[in-house]
Amino acid sequence: MKNQSKGLFSSKKAHLRFTLLLILIFAVISLLGSAGNYYNQFSNTLAKATHNVVILPKTKEIPFVLGLDLQGGTQLTYEANVANIPEADRSSSLEGVRDVIERRVNSTGVAEPVIQVNRSISGDYRVIVELAGVKNVNEAIKMIGETPLLEFKETAVATATPVKVGTSTAAAVDLQQTWKNTELTGKNLKSATLKFNPNDGTPEVALKFDEQGSTMFANITERNVNKPVAIVLDGYTISAPTVNEKIAGGEAVISGKFTVAEAKLLVQRLNTGALPVPITLIGQQTVEASLGQQSIDNSFKAGIVGFLLVALFMILYYRFPGLISVVCLGIYVMAVLAIFKIMPWWMTIVFLLSLFALFISVFRELKIFDGILSVGMFLIVFIFLGYYATTSVTITLAGVTGFILSIGMAVDANILIFERMKEELRAGKPLDIAIDEGFKRAWPSIRDGNTTTILACFVLMSFGTGLVKGFGATLFLGVSISMLSSIVITSSLMRVFVGKFLAKHPWWLGVKKINN
């Protein structure tokens, strides 16, 4: 049974030419996406060498997004103690914590922090802070840890004896007092400013509440007239003035025995935020930049050596088809690297469209588009490829290992196809039919085999922690792109070279004799 081209293309040759063009487009986009900087260098050199006769257009250079273990940095894990917060308010409180930490870290100038709030299986809230670069990490930890927890407390026992002070005079703190929390916390604080007492010139801190806070404060002062209200920072009562009258308008003044410097620091700390929930540091991971760089160098070396070993094996064992599979592997490596980065939208579209068109074209030609399993898998794979093409994949050490592993796995589809092809040739089939049959028959195995790996990748990606996620994502991209490229690119390239030469020199195909 010979392949009859139908529909779109008048001849098999035209179809092949079209497929080759698609492969070329896909390869060029992958190259531009993955190694834009090398391309630009090449373009410069070429312009210089030809005295500005040949000027290639420049491309945008897109950097890889490296994980903290490769670029150096710190990951801090905090646990939020939400025991005192009603269930419904927990996630919004955690958002508050997130914002506060962000402002805190920014004020130290450490670097842009990446802050996530996670909920563990056991229902605990975790705040994960990632800081790129490790300078002043200890300072940052100190800052985050010191972030004030501001509380307003009222007396638990109604019979407390009022102390002689007024709202704006110095506080005499009665430590014997039993206090209980009010509904007002630092969450409702809008701003804090440094002020000086008009009477004696001592520094004071003026607080301004948000709308909700103002009402709360009015209520608290109303029910505590002639009773003290304590302003507690990080568990220490800094001031406990007695309320003279209900205070509406949402403003209050803390006057302790501050020095100007202390008052200033307090204002700064209050402004960058009072934590609505107490947090504790439960995990920390710091990698120094030099260690990260060393890991990059090591991985790079390992990647090159791995690629060369696999390439050498393929060429020595499979000869001509092996060479084709190495070309395909080269395109594959570029394509995966390109997808790791955030490609510009036009690149993403061309990348996906050319891959999709290639896939449709070859599958129609070989008539191996079978059933719901293939359709379902391709749909899912393309959706995820699209997603990863437009976002960046953070490359971690585990991810790089996953990628290098996928180089070894990527040739599996090729090996399956070539073995099948040899078998068909040994069975006495002519070359072009043997090639087509090889692809057609190897497909169900390739599909089923890769699907299980892809499913395992999805579970890995939903595992949560960064390391596992990164490995899952890279392995998924590796496996899915390798499956597409080996089927589509190898088969097309093989068919291009079917001709008199190969038919006369079966050694190149690793068999003894070819029937015509």
Partner 1 sequence: MVNYQIIKYRKLWLIISGSMVVLSILALSIWGLRAGLDFTGGSLLEVKMAGGQPTVTQVQNSLSGVGISSLVVQPTGNNSVILRFQETSQEKHLAVVDALSKMELAKGGMTEVRFESIGTSVGAELRSKSFWVMFLVLLVIILYISLAFNKVSKPVVSWKYGLIAIIALFHDIVITAGIFAILGHYFAVEVNTPFVVALLTVLGYSVHDTIIVFDRTRENLPKSRDSFADTVNHSLNQTFVRSINTTLTVLLSLFAVLIFGGSSVRDFVLALMVGVFCGAYSSLFVASPLLVYFEQWQRRK
Q: Tell which one of 92, 116, 294, 515 touches partner 1 (CB under 8 A).
A: 294
DSSP character at residue 243: B
Q: Residue 282 belongs to what H/E stretch?
A: strand 279-287
SS3 288: coil
Q: Determine, following the binding rule CB under 8 A, whether residue 118 of this chain makes contact with partner 1.
A: no
Q: Tell which one of 44, 106, 120, 244 touches partner 1 (CB under 8 A).
A: 120
Of 153 and 429, which CB lies nearer to partner 1 in the complex structure?
429
> Considering only residues 77-96, where is the footprint of partner 1 by CB under 8 A?
77, 79
Q: Tell which one of 46, 114, 327, 456 touches partner 1 (CB under 8 A).
A: 456
Q: Determine, following the binding rule CB under 8 A, whether residue 260 of this chain makes contact with partner 1.
A: no
Q: Among candidates 140, 135, 136, 133, which has minimal Cα distance to 71?
A: 133
Q: Tell which one of 54, 282, 375, 383 touches partner 1 (CB under 8 A).
A: 282
Of 62 and 410, which CB lies nearer to partner 1 in the complex structure?
410
Q: Tell which one of 259, 452, 505, 515 touches partner 1 (CB under 8 A).
A: 452
Q: Tell which one of 173, 229, 416, 483 touches partner 1 (CB under 8 A).
A: 416
Residue 343 C-beta: closest distance to partner 1, Å: 26
d(C-alpha 420, C-alpha 424), whole Å: 6
Of 365 and 424, which CB lies nearer to partner 1 in the complex structure?
424
- For the chain, the straight-line distance linking the first and the last C-alpha, in angstroms and rounded, comes to 14
Residue 352 C-beta: closest distance to partner 1, Å: 25
Q: Determine, following the binding rule CB under 8 A, whether residue 291 of this chain makes contact with partner 1.
A: yes
Alpha-carbon torsion (166, 169, 175, 181), positive or negative: positive
Q: Among candidates 245, 219, 217, which has minimal Cα distance to 231?
A: 217
Residue 158 C-beta: closest distance to partner 1, Å: 40
Query: Rounded to 5 degrees, what are φ and ψ at 285?
Result: -145, 115
Asked whether 326 and 472 are in contact (CB, 8 A), the reply is no
Q: Tell which one of 240, 457, 502, 509 touches partner 1 (CB under 8 A).
A: 457
Looking at this protein, which amino acid is placed at residue 83? A
Of 118 and 259, which CB lies nearer to partner 1 in the complex structure?
118
In this chain, which stretch among 42-50, 164-172, 207-215, 402-410 interacts with partner 1, using CB under 8 A? 402-410
Q: Any bridge partners for residue 206, and if so which?
A: 193, 253
Counting every residue written for the chain, the total comes to 516
> Considering only residues 418-447, where is the footprint of partner 1 by CB under 8 A?
419, 423, 426, 441, 444-445
Q: Among candidates 296, 328, 302, which has minimal Cα distance to 493?
A: 328
The pair of three-digit structure tokens given for residue 163, joined into one six-digit string:
């102390």
Residue 63 C-beta: closest distance to partner 1, Å: 22
Q: Tell which one of 82, 407, 473, 514 touches partner 1 (CB under 8 A).
A: 407
Which residues make Cβ contacts (< 8 Å) with residue 14, sequence separation at least 6? 5
Residue 415 C-beta: closest distance to partner 1, Å: 5
Residue 48 C-beta: closest distance to partner 1, Å: 35
> Considering only residues 370-389, where is the footprint of partner 1 by CB under 8 A?
373
DSSP character at residue 462: T
SS3 501: helix
Of 145 and 344, which CB lies nearer to partner 1 in the complex structure?
145
d(C-alpha 196, C-alpha 200), whole Å: 8
> Considering only residues 147-186, where is the footprint of partner 1 by CB under 8 A?
none
Residue 516 C-beta: closest distance to partner 1, Å: 22
Q: Tell which one of 395, 460, 489, 509 touches partner 1 (CB under 8 A).
A: 460
Q: Tell which one of 149, 467, 498, 511 touches partner 1 (CB under 8 A).
A: 467
Q: Determine, following the binding rule CB under 8 A, whether residue 124 of this chain makes contact with partner 1.
A: yes
Asked whether 173 and 240 are in contact (CB, 8 A), the reply is yes
d(C-alpha 389, C-alpha 455), whole Å: 20
> Considering only residues 39-78, where is the footprint of partner 1 by CB under 8 A?
69, 77
Residue window 298-337: x/- pattern of binding to partner 1, with contact defined by CB under 8 A: xx-xxx-xxx-xx--xx--x--------------------
* SS percent in the chain: helix, strand, coil, step 5: 60, 15, 25
Residue 389 C-beta: closest distance to partner 1, Å: 23
Binding-site size, partner 1 (CB under 8 A): 75
Of 126 and 153, which CB lies nearer to partner 1 in the complex structure?
126
Q: Residue 478 belongs to what H/E stretch?
A: helix 466-485
Q: Among candidates 78, 115, 113, 66, which has minimal Cα distance to 289?
A: 66
DSSP character at residue 510: T
d(C-alpha 43, C-alpha 57), whole Å: 8
